[in-house]
Amino acid sequence: MASAGIGGTTSWKLFGGQFSAAIAMVGFTLAAIARLSLSQQQPETKWFDGRAAAESTKTLAWRFAVGGEPFKVNVTEQLAVTTFTNRILELTQDLPSLDSPAGNHTQVTPAMRQLRGRDLHDRQTAYATYRILDQQIWYSNKSNWNEVRSSRWAAALLTIDVLGATAAAARLAGWIQLDLLGIAATCSAIGVAWLQAKQHDLLSRTYAVASHELSAIHDRLQMIHDEAEWASEVEQAEEAISREHTLWRASRSSLR
């Protein structure tokens, strides 16, 4: 679409022909082909559903492995496994676009059973380190990454605006005849549309809030010495992670 926009705002000629019109034609043709391909294959929908399934499966697996709600360690393993497999089945039914898993896979792995069988201290350590701390660091890094991208794009758009104003002044003064103003306007519009699609600023704030929330949860986990309280705290921690994913998916779905 960038080439189509630039071609449509200029009037370049080459060998007596409308070169800018040719650029616009090629740009619109390629855009139409890409749009048709995306509408048929729907890669974004499959990717969103895939991430939703992965996040939901991960939270269920951690709840089961460390004895969080609804998989408290005081319930029988048979009941816990049945509840887990039923939750996974409900999840796959809600996301019909997912491909069937290849091969023979066990939903409840030996590692999950082994961790579930350990004492509270071992489960606390594993959960705080490999779930909460890992996720908190990931959120923090993603927040910083999006903040940097947001700043860079803001600087780029400001530069384009300044160049566009300069080009307009130069043309008014008769110093140049080339239509740089139209090109600058097109590039600026493309940049704004890209920023709205990527939502770097919103994602930076969302990830930062999630990171701070998990940091507080990590501290609270260290003070728990009761299984019932532990099961409830794990549930709250997983709900905090699920909230971030829900907000992320809502922000992306609004653009589809």
Residue 8: predicted pLDDT: 45
Residue 76: predicted pLDDT: 92
Give pLDDT < 50 ranges for the chain: 1-12, 14-17
Q: Is residue 22 part of a domain?
A: yes
Q: Are residues 34 and 93 in the same domain?
A: yes
Q: Are residues 129 and 190 in the same domain?
A: yes
Decide: residue 230, CB within 10 A, 0-12 exposed, 13-18 middle, 19+ buried: buried
Q: Are residues 87 and 138 in the same domain?
A: no
> Which residue range(s) make up the domain with 75?
17-100+109-116
Q: Is residue 12 part of a domain?
A: no
Q: CA separation (Å) from 234 to 81, 117, 222, 252?
A: 18, 16, 12, 27
Q: Are residues 83 and 184 in the same domain?
A: no
Of 43, 71, 36, 241, nearest to 139 by C-alpha is 241
Q: Are residues 124 and 32 in the same domain?
A: no
Residue 17: predicted pLDDT: 44
Q: Is residue 60 part of a domain?
A: yes
Residue 44: predicted pLDDT: 65
Residues 105, 103: Cα–Cα separation, whole Å:
6
Backbone region of residue 67 per phi and psi (left: phi > 0; alpha: psi in -120 to 50; beta: other values): left
Number of domains in the chain: 2
Q: Is residue 11 part of a domain?
A: no
Q: Are residues 46 and 127 in the same domain?
A: no
Q: What is the DSSP letter of 131?
A: I
Q: Are residues 92 and 191 in the same domain?
A: no
Residue 5: predicted pLDDT: 44
Residue 112: predicted pLDDT: 95
pLDDT, one tens digit per residue, over 35-91 is: 676 566 566 667 777 787 888 899 999 999 999 999 999 999 999 999 999 998 888
Residue 27: predicted pLDDT: 62
Q: Are residues 122 and 95 in the same domain?
A: no
Residue 123: predicted pLDDT: 96
